[in-house]
Amino acid sequence: MAFLPFDPAQLNADDRRLYDGMVARRKTRGAPFDGPYAALMNHPQLCKRIEELGFYLKFEGHLPRAVYQFVVLSVARQTGAEFEWADHVGHARAAGVPEGVIETLKIQGAPGNAFPPPYRLAAEILALTLPWKSIPEGIQSEAIAAYGMEGFIELVVLSGFYQLFSTINQGFDVSPS
């Protein structure tokens, strides 16, 4: 794999304003603008749209923070995205994901493992979304009861979003610094 370099100094004025705006917005939430976003800035309009969805899911979504981070770590582990794992493991701890859950994810991944609530249900859903399978009505109903309709939809989208990020990270050789 080849690293895809990005130099903000090479952006035209419109794209530089776009870049500066995304950097500033993420900075207000204590989040850097690096890794996959830096690679994606080689296509500023696409980066903008992906970053908008990522910002919403991360900072404005309905899922509990611990469940959000559990999903991110699960997808990172399943897809081998080292950048995402390294970038989110500290956030998962800060959100209250137990160390035993993190260690199980690191060693074995989410699918097929027993986790305590609230991670059990998220793991069941990931066991279906990671291989792109339909979610049975019973699990869907349980998830809607647990997370609300919006939270359930976000969980499924989050699984796909971080699968996309894994592809970006692997394809452009984005690695932990």
Provide the pLDDT for residue 1: 54
Considering the domain architecture, whether residues 46 and 79 belong to the same structural domain is answered as no
Cβ partners under 8 Å of residue 166, min gap 6 = 75, 76, 79, 80, 81, 84
More confident residue, 31 or 20: 20
- For 138, the 3-state DSSP assignment is helix
Span 96-138, pLDDT tens digits: 999 999 999 999 988 777 899 999 999 999 999 999 999 999 9
Whether residue 84 contacts residue 162, with contact meaning beta carbons closer than 8 Å, is answered with yes
Residue type, 39: A
Range of the domain at 16: 10-60
In a domain, 176, yes or no: no
Token duo for residue 51: 């970053």
Provide the pLDDT for residue 125: 96
pTM for this predicted structure: 0.92
Considering the domain architecture, whether residues 72 and 48 belong to the same structural domain is answered as no
For the residues of 55-99, what is the DSSP string, one character each?
HIIIII-SS-HHHHHHHHHHHHHHHT-HHHHHHHHHHHHHTT--H
Span 31-75, pLDDT tens digits: 888 889 999 999 999 999 999 999 999 999 999 999 999 999 999
Considering the domain architecture, whether residues 83 and 161 belong to the same structural domain is answered as yes
Q: What is the mean pLDDT of the chain?
A: 94
Provide the pLDDT for residue 59: 95
Considering the domain architecture, whether residues 101 and 14 belong to the same structural domain is answered as no
Distance in angstroms (rounded) separating the CA atoms of residues 60 and 118: 20
In a domain, 177, yes or no: no
